[in-house]
Amino acid sequence: MKAMGATQDEYYRGMRMVPYDLVKELVLAVAGVGILAVVVAAILSSPDVRPVTIAAWAQNDPVDFVTTASGELAGTTISAGYGNPYNTNGPGQAWGPVAPQKWFGTRIPIDSANAFVIQPLAIAAQENSQLSSGLDVWQKASSDQQGKWLDSYTKALADAKVTNGAVVVADGDYGPLTEMMSSLLVIAQSGGLDGLLQISGRFYQTDYTPALLFMGDGGYLSGQAQSWNLLGNQWGMMNETGRYPGQTWLWLYTMWYQVWPFTSDTGFLGLNASNADLGIIILMTVLTAALAAVPLIPILRDVPRWVPIHRLIWREYYEPKRKAA
Amino acid sequence: MDTASPSIVQPADEGAGWTQRVRQVIDKQLPMDHLLPTRQPYYVGSWVYVFGVVTIAALVWVVVSGVVLAFMGPQWWHDSAVGRFFNSLHFWSVQLFFIFMVLHLWGQYFMAGWRHGRAATWAIGVVIFGISILTAFTGYLSQQNFDSQFIAVNAKDAMNAAGIGAFFNVLNFGQMYGLHIMLLPIGVTILVVLHIVMVRARGVVKPIDPEGGARP
């Protein structure tokens, strides 16, 4: 049938027509849905759990904070070894020759050690001669020496104790690391690091990439998320804080993260847990395209004819035909 | 002096010109009788047809509450009781919008609503569903609370793995907020209008003929 003005009459020829008020239906629907939304909003409100700050992280879990900061210097954190679009330190995800993470390069450059630790300390060192000299020693040391200090310090952090908010480790040869990490912790606990990580050379700032990457490297943010069932292996993307529905429409996308082959180390056809993000995005793209193309796909387009739900929907239409038969 | 008004002199040929041609196309494809019909086939009385109109109604409330939130600014919905209420209204309007849209989608699937030349209407509906998901996703990222914080950290890996993250940075509030309140809602609205126009131009599809298929 063509979308011609006259052809609707042809299309409906022989069909009984009844009076219909489209505008009235729309107005009543807007009013009804509006009343429902207002009532539900007034009774149930909406989730608004305060965001985590770096200050809260440093105050509540100083050992995790210092361990993460040390990891940034050692290049062992998630962001430090991420790969594109932040740096070239990791291969990124790929499925055979399909490697879009690599294709578009380092478009949001982040040097984790410098951005999260050295630069904030360099600013603080302007008013702190002890920190300034410690930072100078660190930067002039060979990478081999830095590695030894970091290795010793990281091992010591496993048995660290917290005294009056400060992280105390056993005596050892950590070079200037103790001074650097203590200073960074104090800056963070005071709230200074929240601001320092947002400095971009401009007054206004709306990009939280550095602060969120740094927090994502630690265990505190994900620990909070776990308590709200927000982690990826908890169907996190469709969940929300509190007893609210969240993005339930992402159930299919989220489901793939819970099932084989995307939970498996070996996987299937090269798709496994290590490239699950890429595999699931490809899969969902294919499924979405298939949904749009349902009218053209045999079996999928025939299911509505086989499943008699349409007989319930158009009961009034089929009933006389059934009785006549 | 002759005070009588001279009559309007009509051009000899009204059929020429782009404007006239556009009018002719609209008159032919979408006459007012189709755009705002006062009669419909009797089977349109089924309750399933309600899902389409309540989806549009929910979208109206999503847009209205969203405009109020955008006008008052991000701090308002955290710090003021009225702002919190409008944030809740926006939140629940979105939830209702998706519930109704999914019911509409399933209803149209089991009615094989793409038949008799309506495949493009179905496909645009699926595109609306996809863009709505993206719009809601940027909304969740723009909330400025713990949910948006962790969803951003969690979602960046999928975006980056697909190469999308190089251009669509979920950790960048400014970018997500701009997309959420401007480009994506405009996209959804334009496509919804197109979807409705296509439905009205062709009319609602007939019930499935027991002898026929569900082909387009």
Show me where the domains of chain B are located: 47-202
Q: Is A77 part of any domain?
A: yes
Q: Cβ–Cβ of A15/B42 closer than 8 Å?
A: yes
Q: Cβ–Cβ of A50/B146 closer than 8 Å?
A: yes
- CA angle A58-A62-A64, nearest 5°? 105
Does the CB of B103 have a partner CB in chain A at under 8 Å?
Answer: no
What pLDDT does A184 receive?
A: 98
Q: Which residues of B touch A216 (CB under 8 A)?
A: 153, 156
Do A22 and B37 touch, CB atoms closer than 8 A?
Answer: yes
Residue type, B16: A
Do A157 and A233 touch, CB atoms closer than 8 A?
Answer: no
Mutate to test the interface with A, among B65, B94, B160 (most CBs of A within 10 A): B160
DSSP letter (8 states) at residue A77: S
State the count of interchain CB pairs (< 8 A) between A and B: 305
Mutate to test the interface with B, among A4, A24, A33 (most CBs of B within 10 A): A33
What pLDDT does B2 receive?
A: 54
Which among B46, B144, B216 is the nearest to A313, CB-wise?
B46
Rounded to the nearest angstrom, the minimum Cα separation between B201 and chain A is: 6
Which among B27, B198, B202 is the nearest to A1, CB-wise?
B202
Do A251 and A238 touch, CB atoms closer than 8 A?
Answer: yes
Q: Cβ–Cβ of A302/B84 closer than 8 Å?
A: no
- 3-class SS string, A158-195: CCCEEECCEEECCCCCCCCHHHHHHHHHHHHHCCHHHH
Q: Is A40 part of any domain?
A: no
Does the CB of B54 have a partner CB in chain A at under 8 Å?
Answer: yes
What pLDDT does B5 receive?
A: 65
Domain interval for residue A160: 54-224
pLDDT at B30 over 70: yes
Rounded to the nearest angstrom, the minimum Cα separation between B216 and chain A is: 6
What pLDDT does A166 receive?
A: 97
Does the CB of A309 have a partner CB in chain B at under 8 Å?
Answer: yes
Q: Cβ–Cβ of B133/A250 closer than 8 Å?
A: yes
Q: Which chain B residues in 178-197 lie under 8 Å from chain A, judged by CB atoms?
A: none
Does the CB of B120 have a partner CB in chain A at under 8 Å?
Answer: no
Rounded to the nearest angstrom, the minimum Cα separation between A207 and chain B is: 4
What pLDDT does B37 receive?
A: 93
Q: How many CA atoms lie within 13 A of A159 on its CB side?
A: 7
Does the CB of B31 have a partner CB in chain A at under 8 Å?
Answer: yes
Rounded to the nearest angstrom, the minimum Cα separation between B45 and chain A is: 9
Instruction: Give the separation between CA A94 and CA A92, rounded to whole angstroms.
Output: 7
In this prediction, residue B212 has a pLDDT band, given cuts at 50, 70 and 90, of very low
Q: What digits encode the pLDDT tens for the residues B78-89?
A: 999 999 999 999
pLDDT at B198 over 90: yes
In this prediction, residue B4 has a pLDDT band, given cuts at 50, 70 and 90, of low
Does the CB of B144 have a partner CB in chain A at under 8 Å?
Answer: yes
Q: What digits encode the pLDDT tens for the residues B105-148?
A: 999 999 999 999 999 999 999 999 999 999 999 999 999 999 99
- CB-based contacts of A154, cutoff 8 Å, min separation 6: A67, A70, A71, A74
Do A288 and A112 touch, CB atoms closer than 8 A?
Answer: no
Q: What digits encode the pLDDT tens for the residues A88-138?
A: 999 999 999 999 999 999 999 999 999 999 999 999 999 999 999 999 999
Instruction: Give the separation between CA B88 and CA A42, rounded to whole angstroms.
Output: 8
What pLDDT does B193 receive?
A: 97
* Mean pLDDT in residue range B89-109: 98
What pLDDT does B17 receive?
A: 85
Chain B CA closest to residue A101: B163
What pLDDT does A1 receive?
A: 40
ipTM reported for the complex, 2 dp = 0.93
- 3-class SS string, A86-125: CCCCCCCCCECCECHHHHCCCCCCCCHHHHHHHHHHHHHH
Q: Cβ–Cβ of A1/B111 closer than 8 Å?
A: no
In this prediction, residue B15 has a pLDDT band, given cuts at 50, 70 and 90, of low
Q: Which residues of A touch B92 (CB under 8 A)?
A: 37, 40-41, 44, 46
Q: Cβ–Cβ of A40/B28 closer than 8 Å?
A: no
Q: Cβ–Cβ of B203/A11 closer than 8 Å?
A: yes
- CB-based contacts of A219, cutoff 8 Å, min separation 6: A61, A64, A68
Cα dihedral sign, B69-B75-B80-B81: positive
What pLDDT does B3 receive?
A: 57
Do A30 and B60 touch, CB atoms closer than 8 A?
Answer: yes
Task: Read off the tokens for B35.
Answer: 């755009």
Domain B47-202: CATH architecture, name and number where available: Up-down Bundle (1.20)
Q: Cβ–Cβ of B216/A295 closer than 8 Å?
A: yes
Q: Which chain A residues in 108-127 lie under 8 Å from chain B, judged by CB atoms?
A: 108
Helices within A18-106 (DSSP H only): 22-44, 54-60, 62-74, 100-103
Q: Cβ–Cβ of A206/B42 closer than 8 Å?
A: no
Q: Is A148 part of any domain?
A: yes
Q: What is the pTM of this model?
A: 0.93
Does the CB of B23 have a partner CB in chain A at under 8 Å?
Answer: no
What pLDDT does A138 receive?
A: 97
Report the number of distinct structural domains present in chain A.
Answer: 1
Q: Which residues of A touch B155 (CB under 8 A)?
A: 237
Q: Cβ–Cβ of B41/A15 closer than 8 Å?
A: yes
What pLDDT does A287 receive?
A: 98
Q: Which residues of B touch A96 (CB under 8 A)?
A: none
Q: What digits encode the pLDDT tens for the residues A74-88?
A: 999 999 999 999 999
Q: Is A302 part of any domain?
A: no
In this prediction, residue B42 has a pLDDT band, given cuts at 50, 70 and 90, of very high
pLDDT at B98 over 80: yes
Instruction: Give the separation between CA A47 and CA A43, rounded to whole angstroms.
Output: 13
In chain A, which residues have pLDDT < 70?
1-6, 325
Q: Which residues of A touch B146 (CB under 8 A)?
A: 49-52, 224, 228, 241
